[in-house]
Structure formats: C-alpha cells, structure tokens
Structure 1
C-alpha cells in the first residue's frame, strides 16, 4: 500500500471515463500526478486526457487486478460503479477513496435515507416498496402526492414517477419498470440548494459556499453560487455536511442536495459520493475547485481553500446546445468547459459554461 501523502509522480486510478473523470484527471495532472482510467468505452473523454486507459467492464476481475497494481490510489467518478468492484480492490490491498461503504449507501435510496436520518440529516418521509400492494399500503403514511423512485440506478429524472392519487399507482409502478422502489413524500420547499464538501484523510472538513439550483425535466440547468442565504441556513447546511462525512468516515469530495423549507430548515434530498455537477461553479469561483480538492483529499494532501472570489452562474449545455461553443467562447465574462464527447444526443450533458461576476 502506498505511503501518504502521495508525492507528485504517483498514479491515481479513476473508475469511470466521463466528464467528471476528465476534469478530475486534468486537476490531478496540474498537481503532478499520472492518471489511469478504467472504463468500458474506448477513447473515453477522461481516457484522452490521461496517461492511459484500461478498456474493460467495471467488474472484470483481470482488469481490476491490473488496475489495483498500477495505481497508488483509486477513486471513482460516478456512483453506479459496482460496489463489489470497489470492495475487491480494497480487499486486494489497493488504497480506495471514498470507500465501498459510501458507495453502497449512495447506490440504494432506502439505505441512503436510512443512513441520513441516523446521523441527524433529516429527509422527507419515505417507505420501501416492492409491489403495487406495498404502495397502496404506504400511501396514507407517506401522503399524496408522492414520488416513486427505483431503489437503485436512475439519474437526471429517470426511473421515477409521480403518484397523484390512488388510481395512477399501477401506471406509476409500470413506468419505473416494476422494480424495487422507494416512495418519497413531496417536500414543501422554496428552493433547492446544494453543498459541496470534502473530508481529508486526517478528518479535516472543508465546505464550499452553497449553490442554488434550477432544474428542467429532472435535469440540472443552472447553479448560482454563492447562494443568498442567512446565517442560520448556512450553519445548518455545514452541520449536515459534517455529520454525513464523519458518519461515513469519508475521504474525498461529496455533493449534497438540499430542500430549503425556509427559516433554516433543510431536508437532504440525496448525496453523491463524488464530485458533483452543482460544484462546477468552483472551477471559476474558487482558488481550489472541487476537482483539485478531491485529488488532494484522496492523495492525503492538505485540503485547499474553499472561499469564493467571484459570483458564478453555471449553466449545463445539453445535446446540440454545445454547438453554441464559438459564440460562448467569445464572451469575456464566461468560461466554457467542453467534455470532449463525440455524440451530442438530446439531453446529454456535453459541456457547461460559467458566467463570472464580481462578488
């Protein structure tokens, strides 16, 4: 096992070759690290800016063996990497961060909400359901309307359906594919906030200013940060972040989505054990962005500063919106971040742009 902190020239392995892996690799390169990607897609966005890529399934035992041997530390860019693969790497002696526990908790929405409530990070009412009959039995407790979501997988609004009354329960169950699910009460929130936080190997915690998020069709469109919040809300958000990080003995950056009910009352919507779309504003709003922060944490380096030096509006570019790149690149107050994806499918995240203004 590698000695910590990792010196420049060490190799960091990233499970996943998408845009988050790409930006993590770029940050690692700035700090003098080499990066190896494991991803089943040849010529992945992250692989093209890294020292190398192993093209294999995430659960390929031979690939995981090689990956663990050539990397001094392993991390991941998205939470749908099989938790068993991360456990296999750790059991073989690889240094993995965040650990398999955080990944397993985030992969199952019932386990996630159970954990959150156990550490004092309150959520909406919820119930685990495995059939139409289960849903009917829980509706009085959870309340109408409510949201039905698959327990596992699902992102950007996929794998979920609203239940407005008893009559559309079978339709909602069919819409999510009749899979094990969670029933969530509707939150009477005024806005969605998010907080990006990090925990180092020494237990130190660093928290970025909160962002305010706007969604369309279940997909994040914009994040404005720092959000306009009062001291009570900020204090509560930081306490939630610290309780989650410590509860998981976490190492790395985590994204936490919050429902703001007003008067300092916050409910946790979900957590993501990785760098997060709502933290992209830090690339142009902070000295140490979320990607560098994550690399610092997993490599055992001191955490970097999180204070904002600019007001940033981050906007996702979906599908053929990326064709505006020339126009956007010409704007002096905007920074364009392209992901290097070959195909601009409808709704696919292709890039983001940060509009920067003075604080």
Structure 2
C-alpha cells in the first residue's frame, strides 16, 4: 500500500502530468522550495518542460510514458483534467498520487460533477441530462429559453457549448449531441461571475483564497478582480460553499469553484476545476502564499500557508493578439507584473501570459488598465 500521508521533502522529484502554463507556474513554485520537476507532455519544449529538470515526451495515456514518470517521481500531480481514467487508475496503484482518481473522474464529466455538487447540498442551475437530439427536443421546454447545451465531457473556454435562445435554434444542438451525452442548463441571468480557490490536505486542513470576481470575453477569462466587488455576506456564503464542497469531495490539493451570483443574492455553482486555476493567478503577487505554492504544500503534506491578501489586485490575461502591443508598452508601464508562458506561437485568442496590477484599490488598477491600448478590443466587447 502506497502511503499518501508521508511528508515529501526538498530534493525529491515532483512529477507533473501536463506541460502547460499551470504546470509551469506549479513547477516554478516547487523549485523555489527545493524540489526537482519531471513533466509528462507530448510536445517538446512545452511551457512546463522549459523549467523542468526532466521532460518525458509521450502521450498522456501512454503506459510506457506514465511508467517513466512514476519511476522518477516521489509524488505526482496534474495540471489539467484531460487524463485517461484507466491510466490514472494504474498510476494511483503504482505511484504516490495524493489527489487520487475520484475527484478527477467526477470533474471530467459534467453530469457526475453536477450530481456531486448537489449531493454536497449546493445549488446548481436547473438542468437536464441529454442523451441525443430527440432527448433535447423533448426536454428543452422543461428547462426553458434561453438555455445552454454543453457536452458532458471535454470543452473549455466556451468550446463544446451552444446557447439556445429560441425554439428555432434547437436543431443547432445536433452536432454536440452526436459527440455524446450532454447537459442542458437553464441560462442564469447573473450579476457577477465569482470563483473561490480552496486547498485542502488529506487530514482536513484547509485554506481558502479571497473571493475573486471574473469577467469573461468570448468565453475566455479576461479580468480577475480581487477582492470581488460584493458584500461581506455574499463573500462569506461563497467561501462556505467552497469549503463544504472540498469536505464533501474529500479534496486533496487545489479546487477552483466557479459560481454565478444573481441579482437577488443567490449563488449557483457552475463548474469545478481540481487544480490551480486561471482566476487564481493574482495570488502569485497579491497573497502571502500563491495558489501554486499552496498546491505543492498540500500534495507534499506540508502545513498550508496563509492566503491573506496583501494588496488589492487585478489580473488580465494576455492573448496572442496582445503581445505586440505589450512589448511596446512594457518600457512605459510601472509596476506591471508580467508573466509570459513560453509558448512559441502567439495565436489569436491563445493564452500567452498574464499581467497583474497591485494597487491601493481595485478601482485604481482598473483605471490604469483602461488607459492601455492592449485592452481596447476587450473593453468594446464588454461595453467599456
């Protein structure tokens, strides 16, 4: 039996499945604490691979590649959810994977995820499980218009989703239905999108980051504002829901809980991500302990750090179309915390990095950002 309660000490090797930017920032936090990093990723010179000690080049479901990672790692974690369940099950039997397979399996499937949230006593948007186009035609009236059709598996940044505004739009859902089971959700007219990031150890020790307010453009996170511009009552309710979910799911590691806040103060949990999250990047500079360091502490069985907010912050994603302007503006911008992820090709709408501004108030940070030409396109789309 592999012990999941041992303390992993500096000098040990942490294996990371996935070579993207989350793995990169996780690796940088781990290396600052004295760990070595091995990463499994199909593509050479990945963002995480650039800072890792060892790169295992192979498919995520390759038993040969995953075995290599297991042999050289003292503990293993992951930076994204797209891991084959059978491969993860084998890995949990042959290596130290404190997060285990259960939560990942739940969050890979929106149907399982919604049921798990409800079992924790937390409210989600009204929904129906859709098994095909005929099922969609049968159930759409029960959900009402507008509604959102989402594939049960896969999809991110708006991919694998369709908003159905009117009865004549329903047939457009055929393509998604052909991909497999789907979830049909009632459209929630929210006032704000919130997220709470919670980290928990196997012994139940828990730390929660300040509630973040998120603004999306074209289904991609544009800005994260911390502290969220909400009442203390709403913030406390959001934190409580995140903590209850962490306990119910027996979380080990980090969980991002995305929520909708309606005009009447109701909070619906929208999605879960069992890992560090884009909306938690502000914590690198703005909190005493970042979400990445905290995650490493949890999987290595160290005491969790303080999540105290040191200063109000606004984080903005840098997409491919922003980089040229960013390079021109860097010499003129004071106290911009710029993070670039090492991706070779700056594609349109591709997340290439982020910028965090720490100011006396979030209003000061937002005002400064609005003076930058980088954000003009985004501001037009959000009515700025």
Relative to the length of structure 1, the TM-score reads 0.96
Alignment correspondent of 1:32: 34
SS at 1:190 equivalent: strand
Counting only pairs closer than 5 Å after superposition, residues 204-243 of structure 1 correspond to structure 2 as: 204-243=205-244
SS at 2:190 equivalent: coil
Alignment correspondent of 1:55: 57
Alignment correspondent of 1:129: 130
CA distance in 1, matches of 2:70, 2:344: 29
Contact kept? 1:6, 1:299, Cα under 8 Å: yes
Q: Write out per-residue CA displacement over residues 118-144 of structure 1, whole angstroms, 9 at most, x where no aligned residue.
A: 101210011111211101211122111
CA distance in 1, matches of 2:228, 2:307: 14
SS at 1:47 equivalent: coil
Structure 2: 5+ residue stretches without partners = 362-384
Q: Write out per-residue CA displacement over residues 296-346 of structure 1, whole angstroms, 9 at most, x where no aligned residue.
A: 100000111111011111111111312234345332231000000001111
The verdict on how the C-alpha distance between 1:4 and 1:323 changes in structure 2, with shifts beyond 3 A counting, is farther
Aligned length: 358
Relative to the length of structure 2, the TM-score reads 0.90
Q: Write out per-residue CA displacement over residues 276-310 of structure 1, whole angstroms, 9 at most, x where no aligned residue.
A: 00000111111211010100100000111111011
Structure 2 residue 284 is the aligned partner of structure 1 residue 283: yes
1:263, distance to aligned residue in structure 2 (A): 5.0
Stretch deviating more after TM superposition (10-19 or 134-143): 134-143
Alignment correspondent of 1:9: 11
Alignment correspondent of 1:68: 70
Alignment correspondent of 2:346: 344
> In angstroms, what is the RMSD of aligned CA positions?
1.5
Contact kept? 2:150, 2:176, Cα under 8 Å: no
Structure 2 residue 154 is the aligned partner of structure 1 residue 161: no
SS at 1:179 equivalent: coil
CA distance in 2, matches of 1:31, 1:342: 28
1:145, distance to aligned residue in structure 2 (A): 0.9
Alignment correspondent of 1:199: 200
1:188, distance to aligned residue in structure 2 (A): 2.2
Contact kept? 2:133, 2:177, Cα under 8 Å: no
Structure 2 residue 45 is the aligned partner of structure 1 residue 43: yes
1:29, distance to aligned residue in structure 2 (A): 0.2
Counting only pairs closer than 5 Å after superposition, residues 270-309 of structure 1 correspond to structure 2 as: 270-309=271-310
